[in-house]
Structure 1
Amino acid sequence: MQIYPFRALRYNTAVVDLEDVVTQPYDKISPAMQDAYYARSPFNLIRVILGKREPDTADDNVYTRAAAYLADWRQKNVLEEDNAPALFGYAQRYTVPGTTEVRERRGLICLGHLYDYAEKVVYRHEQTLSKPKSDRLSLFKATRTYCEQIYMLYADPAFTVEQLIFGNNTGEPATPPDQTVTDEYGVVHMLWHVTDPRTINLIVTALQDKKLIIADGHHRYETSTAYARERATELGLPDSTTHTATRTEQVYGADDGAPSEYADEHGQTTLPAPPFPEAAMMMTLVNMDAPGITILPAHRVVFGLPAGAVPNFLERAGDYFDVTRVDATHTAQDADAAKAQDAEQIEDASALLAPLNQTESVAFLAATRDGNYLLTAKPAAIEAALQTFTPRQRALDVVQLHGLVLEQLLGLSAESIRNQQNLRYLRSAPEAIAQVARGEADIAFLVKPVTLEQLQTVSLSGEVMPQKSTDFYPKLLSGLAFYALD
């Protein structure tokens, strides 16, 4: 993987308080969060990454307004460009949801070269939808700025990057962070500004042979890769997604391909740069071998089913799963009680999740208004029913849930699932149960989280999982750094 340092745009903390202007990623922002961000500061990033849609015209719309905000903030020095190319160490200290365990996830903010998947440098792990791609491309073309990073995974048991940036791979970093901000979930985000050319080139070299797996940001990666190809054609340049030549290599030669040895004609250290600005995008790279990664389950809530669909599903499910009734502290039929008492919802969820999490084989929990059921897979029956999937995919809980339960037993089409016509994804098990209890949904499927090993195995094999198979926590904070192409 070829990475590059960059001269980042960053919020000027002499003008704004960082906590007032940063946000969660655009696709994790609810309408209530959007309103809160708008009220927090006139310079909050929400106006760019997820602006409010007003009566729009071709010349005045959510995308043109985003570009205008960025231009205005740069003119007012609310956003300032760094004096020199840099990389950023990025650490997030957080409590694992539902526990008291504190973890720290460390990564590297950089520019990453955009590769076509066929190059087998960058791998995806789940399917994507067309609508988010169109929206993000329109925003990017208007602003020509990356305001958010995508989250990438790589493997390095030697912890080379961690040693270079933090001085170690566990324990307190050797130096204090240059910036610290705490988000609305209590996650502490810390940033280290790395400008030393030798250190940068050592990091570039250390990552050059690594393969990346997209953790969060599939839509944005695919959108950016398509745009890089488009711009290469417009500029009369070779397709950059099929090779990794840098601007330094083009001018001075690759010097045996070792970026740490780059020098100009005067022997001064130089830094690699993209062959043209659109050939790279802003990323955060996280080492899968380091501690601190948390994957949460993404529960499925199904609604809008015809009358009799749930009893019929439970009857048919017995052909493929061992179906066991699981009682919570009070039944999901008591909608008023479930709606009024959050504590009871949480107690119900804990009672239902306990037997699910204790099951070593593939299993999930179906919560209905008439009862709750643990479904444990019958391997032979599952294999026969999912012949269109590879053995690696068939072994995944989410594939069995989507390919067999949602499509075959409940009769939802693959298209309706992709478009979420009858389906919602929720991190909160209590809320998923409560929606069924309130009559807002017909059935909630509580699932176990995908493991890092499963993700790595499936992705590097060139296969994919259903959309929303993983929920990495915490999310990368948006607004810590910007990559402006102009």
Structure 2
Amino acid sequence: MAKIIPFKAVRPTADKVSLVTARTYDDYSPAELAAQLDFNPYSFLHIINPGYALQQKITNEKRFKMVRNKYLDFKKDAVFKQETDPVFYIYEIQSNKNTFTGILCGTSIEDYQNNVIKKHENTLEYRVDMFKDYLHVTGFNTEPVLITYPNETELNTWLADQKQNTPIYEFSTHKKEKHIVWRIAAPTDIAWLTQKFSTIPNLYIADGHHRSASAEMLYNQDKETNNENLKYFMSFLIADDNVKIYEFNRLIHDLNNHSKQEFLNLLEKHFIVTPKGQEIWNPTQKFQFGMYLDGAFYALTLKKETYQMQGVLNQLDAQILYDTVLHPILGIGDLRNDDRIEYLPGTKSITQLKEKVDSGQFEVAFMLYPVHINEIKQIADNHLIMPPKSTYIEPKFCNGVIIYEI
């Protein structure tokens, strides 16, 4: 059964939260980044990029120490304050398309190790190790792991009741998203929520496999310090039907020495290939794929009689494309490291994908149908791993709103 805890979060004062909050560092263009760092002294970017003013390359260890020092400066200057008692938070993100509502809490390393919290992705060891070092030196994390729980009426009713109270934060971002945060501090509410999740057999990581793996590695390294916070990592718990799952489309630099006609002929072994011309075409169901090649779109429909669909993994569209096209025809073996393949999330328009092929940067592009949350859960339940870049999942969080100290 799942164990969750409230925690003594560090967070901005209400008057500064909209100034502090920042997107992930890589989301900014160089011009945007420079503007934020030059003209907004409260931006969390000053903490995660403390060497900006120095314009120099530094080691990870030195950079992490600078992050730590800048974070302490923000606390000293009262930009941040810390809760006196452990609390939960309800966090809601509203966009023009979706509303995401969930619970910020601590989740258990022990549950993660015992597969109460289930995983569906592999991690890269160097990334896990680097973020472990980051956590060890800086002593905080502000990016929660996105975890789903089964949709349940009683929890939905409780969340709706809590949202009738006055929020501690209500602000908008440059991405035209509205963020609303409620503080759950009453002992009766904390006890009810803790007990409620103790009846849920399993939670599922939707996004944040590297962060959870780093938290476990840090616990294993530093557990002799008896730091209670090491036993948990910050998570955002959301009903499994409230996440939004997008596909990752594939862009390939060349046809592996095949001519266009040879390539089309090879595809017909496993697919019904239907030319669509200039019609921008996206798959509308599983076992369909879109393709853009030489200025034209194609619909690829799997011939199920030619493909062995035994097991959950082999029924994933990303795995099917790899097994039938990317590996045997295009010669791509390592989806994570082969530099002949790149990925574009389904949040980007097909027009952008088309432009990348038309520019000559890529030879062919494939569009996939989004994975369903039940497929993710089935993969995790069977202790399997999805192919790299199978899902792009929202919500995505701002940095600097709620901070978990270690």
Name structure 2 gaps, 5 residues minimum.
none
SS in 2 for 1:324: strand
Query: After superposition, where does 1:26-41 map in structure 2 within 5 Å?
Result: 26=25, 28-29=27-28, 31=30, 33-39=32-38, 41=40
Cα displacement (A) at 1:28: 4.7
Residue deviations 1:439-474, cap 9 Å, x none? Answer: 121211111111122222222222221122111233
Partner residue, 1:449:
370
- Cα distance, 1:114 vs structure 2: 1.4
CA offsets 1:50-109 (integer angstroms, 9 cap, x no match): 66675334597432221121011111111111122110011111223xxxxxx3221000
Query: What CA RMSD, in Å, does the superposition of the two structures yield over aligned residues?
Result: 2.5
Match status 1:412 vs 2:351: no
Q: State the alpha-carbon separation in 2 of the partners of residues 309 and 136 from structure 1.
A: 44
Correspondence for 2:141: 146
Is residue 25–residue 148 contact of structure 1 (8 Å, CA) maintained in 2? no
TM-superposed deviation, 1:118:
5.4
Per the normalisation by structure 1, the TM-score is: 0.76
Tell me the residue number matched to 1:94.
Answer: 95
Percent identical: 22
Taking structure 1 as reference, are residues 39 and 57 closer, same or farther at Cα in structure 2, changes over 3 Å only? closer
- The farther-off stretch of 82-91 and 43-52 is 43-52
Q: Which amino acid aligns with 2:147?
A: M
**How far apart in 2 are the matches of 1:352 and 1:315?**
20
Q: CA deviation at 1:175?
A: 2.4
Q: Is the 8 A contact 1:126 1:468 kept in 2?
A: no
Q: Which has the larger radius of gyration?
A: 1
| Alignment-derived partner of residue 228 in structure 1 | 219
- Counterparts of 1:448 and 1:148 in 2: how far apart (Å)? 28
Q: CA deviation at 1:141?
A: 1.8
> Quick one: distance in 2 between partners of 1:126 and 1:276?
27
Q: Which of the residues 179, 184, 187 maps onto 2:177? A: 187
Give the Cα–Cα distance (whole angstroms) in 2 for the partners of residues 36 and 459 of structure 1: 42
- How far apart are the structure 2 equivalents of 1:48 and 1:382? 51
Give secondary structure in 1 for the equivalent of 2:328. Answer: helix
Q: Tell me: CA distance 1:114–1:302, structure 2 relative to 1, closer, same or farther (3 Å).
A: same
Cα distance in 2 for partners of 1:277, 1:442 equals 50
Tell me which residue corresponds to 1:13. 14
Distance across 1 between alignment mates of 2:398 and 2:359:
33
Matches within 5 A, 1:62-81: 62-81=63-82
* Residue 214 of structure 1 pairs with residue 205 of structure 2: yes
Look up the SS of the partner of 1:326 in the other structure: strand
Count of aligned positions: 399
Query: Would the aligned equivalents of 2:255 and 2:263 in 1 still touch at CA under 8 Å?
Result: no
2:387 match: 466
Residues 220-249 of structure 1 show CA distances to partners (whole Å, capped at 9, x for unaligned) of 1111112112222x34x7xxxxxxxxxxxx
After superposition, what is the alpha-carbon deviation per residue over 1:305-364, rounded to whole angstroms, capped at 9, x for unaligned? 5544655433211111111111125xxxxxxxxxxxxxxxxxxxxx312xx21xx44011
Cα offset for 1:121? 0.5
**Cα offset, 1:208, TM superposition:** 1.3
Contact 2:90 2:102 in 1 (8 A): yes
| Alpha carbons 1:116, 1:225 under 8 Å: kept | no
Counterpart residue number, 1:157: 152
| 1:46 partner letter | L
Structure 2 length normalisation: TM-score?
A: 0.90
CA distance in structure 2 between the aligned counterparts of 1:213 and 1:66, rounded to whole angstroms: 31
- Residues 1:29 and 1:221: Cα distance change in structure 2 (over 3 Å): farther
**Partner secondary structure for residue 365 of structure 1:** strand
CA distance in 2, matches of 1:369, 1:56: 42
Of residues 228, 231, 235, the one that matches 1:276 is 228
